[in-house]
Amino acid sequence: MASSQHVLLSPAELAYLHASLSLTPPIRPDGRSPTQFRPLVAETGILPGTNGSARICFADGTEAIVGVKAEVERTAQRPGEETVFLEEGGAGDDEEEEGEAVDKRKGDASWVEMTVEIPGLRDDDSGTAFLSAMLSEALLADGEFAKRLWINRRFHWKLYLDIILISPPLSYPLPLLSLTTHLALLSTRLPRLKSEGDEDPFFDDDWAAAPYLYPRTPTSVAKPTATTTTTRPPITLLVMAVGNNIIFDPSKEELAVADVALAVSVTSTASSHHIDTDTGHPAAEAGRNLRLLSIRTIDPPSRLTPPAVANAANAAYGASNGAALGTQKMLEARTAETEAVEGVWRAPRGGAKRMVLGALVQKVLERGGVVDEVLDALEGVDLG
């Protein structure tokens, strides 16, 4: 879909754009630095009837709304799994299991249902399906998210994520949708559970008491500088490379000249104690612990752009007489077709280079890098 959307740029313009993005430092058409995001406005809690909702508006006019609804659902008992007896959960068992209580929780990918709606596209359009697959993959990849929906051994929350792009897709909407989903999940609250063990769930009717799906630890008074280090929902970023330059959050035009485009899903996890004891230093506590969840290559639209013709091969510039061409000229013409000629637009060919991919991932996971910046920014959004 949007990735293959036609860009109305001439080959010469494409070549110019490519050239300027290949510079060190690259010069982006809108003057951003390579790691800079487009400015965005975000708010949460816009849909009062949902468990959590968010809306993000990019400066280029693209806008998305995400609503999260939760429902209690009975967990299907599979044959072979130990059957859950009510009495068990109650008395003796708990004490010995207390230490590894978290491990009891299981999640299942079917507990999350996601629908993506892009105006002007059918919901079974391959582009939409791909977007939705990427977004849910990011959520479910490590299995940690679904565990949050665990109520007890017999029940779980089923989460319905409705992702709607409400503007025309002016640029590839993946980052927008992902950030909005992230924000919506941050603001999602589930009714407080009052029952214990494996009883039929019974909830507090006071909405104000409902805990957040991603609990926020308030920054403690003692250490005002300490940031929250708890787990956050994943975000999926669009990163592209032109030559050796890595560019975040490409606009539509930039994407049209990308050599490689990647969708990288990252999550931030609470710094666990194992790592701390290994390093022997609480450094991990201060920052975020970023974890790579998935990488997807996006078919860059640049491949579909019309190629330019080098002057040498252009009949208009006197290269018309094929018969008169000497072997030298023939060679030149071949070079022009296969090798890049300065100032002449050629769609990139072949896959991404391994070095570039490595550099991309590293750049994404960099501490204090773009992801941190984005997460900090989203954390700053008031959850109302």
Contacts to another protein by CB under 8 A? 41, 43, 45-46, 48-51, 55, 57, 63, 70-72, 74, 86-87, 90, 191, 194-196, 198-208, 210, 384
Residue type, 318: G
Contact 177, 161 (CB under 8 A): no
Question: How many Å apart are CA 120 and CA 159, to the nearest integer?
Answer: 26
Q: Considering beta carbons, is residue 199 or 332 the nearer one to another protein? A: 199
Q: Considering beta carbons, is residue 280 or 384 the nearer one to another protein? A: 384
Phi and psi at 80, nearest 5°, equal 95, -30
Contact 37, 370 (CB under 8 A): yes
- What is the nearest approach in angstroms of another protein to the Cβ of residue 42? 9
Q: Considering beta carbons, is residue 71 or 376 the nearer one to another protein? A: 71
Q: Considering beta carbons, is residue 88 or 332 the nearer one to another protein? A: 88
Locate 163 and state its tokens: 């992702």
Question: How many Å apart are CA 200 and CA 155, to the nearest integer?
Answer: 8
Q: State the residue for tokens 């050629």.
A: 346
Locate 253 and state its tokens: 């035009």
Q: Considering beta carbons, is residue 54 or 139 the nearer one to another protein? A: 54
Closest by CA to 301, choosing from 21, 17, 2, 15, is 2
Burial code (b: 16+ CB inside 10 Å, e: under 16) for 331-355 equals: ebbeebeeeebeebbbbbeeebeee
- What is the nearest approach in angstroms of another protein to the Cβ of residue 192? 8
**Chain centroid to CA 332:** 44
- What is the nearest approach in angstroms of another protein to the Cβ of residue 190? 9
- What is the nearest approach in angstroms of another protein to the Cβ of residue 242? 31
Query: How far is the CA of 333 from the CAs of 3, 60, 309, in angstroms?
Result: 31, 41, 10
Question: How many Å apart are CA 73 and CA 157, to the nearest integer?
Answer: 6
- What is the nearest approach in angstroms of another protein to the Cβ of residue 66? 13
> CB within 8 A of 381, min separation 6: which ones?
42, 43, 44, 54, 183, 186
Locate 148 and state its tokens: 């949050």
Q: Considering beta carbons, is residue 13 or 88 the nearer one to another protein? A: 88
- What is the nearest approach in angstroms of another protein to the Cβ of residue 233? 20
> CB within 8 A of 358, min separation 6: which ones?
none
Question: How many Å apart are CA 252 and CA 260, to the nearest integer?
Answer: 14
Q: Considering beta carbons, is residue 85 or 317 the nearer one to another protein? A: 85
- What is the nearest approach in angstroms of another protein to the Cβ of residue 168? 17
- What is the nearest approach in angstroms of another protein to the Cβ of residue 93? 15
Q: Considering beta carbons, is residue 197 or 369 the nearer one to another protein? A: 197
Q: Considering beta carbons, is residue 206 or 342 the nearer one to another protein? A: 206
- What is the nearest approach in angstroms of another protein to the Cβ of residue 256? 27
Report the run of H or E that residue 63 belongs to, with start and end.
strand 63-74
Query: How many C-beta atoms surround the C-beta of residue 86 within 10 A?
Result: 12
